[in-house]
Amino acid sequence: MAQYKGTGSINATSGYSFLLTACDVQVNGSCSGGSVDTFRIKIWKTASGTVVYDNAPGPDDLTSNTEALAGGDIVIHN
């Protein structure tokens, strides 16, 4: 599993943060209990913490929920 955290802008407006979580089933053995790669992206306003998008909301960002990919693969290089 890999996580990337950073900041960026939406529609040329700065002040947003993101957390991307990806799971490669070939590295991890299982992703969210399944046999396909999974992905999550959470975006929030940095100053207020207000979440503006989260494709797989969950209580914990470190052991976060991820959604199964409908197609393609995630490859994590270590």
The percent of residues in the chain predicted with pLDDT above 90, rounded, is: 36
Tell me the Cα Rg of the chain: 13
Which residues on neighbouring strands pair with residue 20, listed in sequence order? 4, 41
State the pLDDT at residue 26.
Answer: 84
Per-residue pLDDT, averaged over 27-43, amounts to 83
Which residues on neighbouring strands pair with residue 31, listed in sequence order? 34
State the pLDDT at residue 48.
Answer: 98
Q: Which residues contact 12 (CB under 8 A, 6 or more apart)?
A: none
Indicate whether this model's pTM tops 0.75: yes
Query: Is it the case that residue 78 has pLDDT exceeding 70?
Result: no
Token pair recorded at residue 35: 């046999």
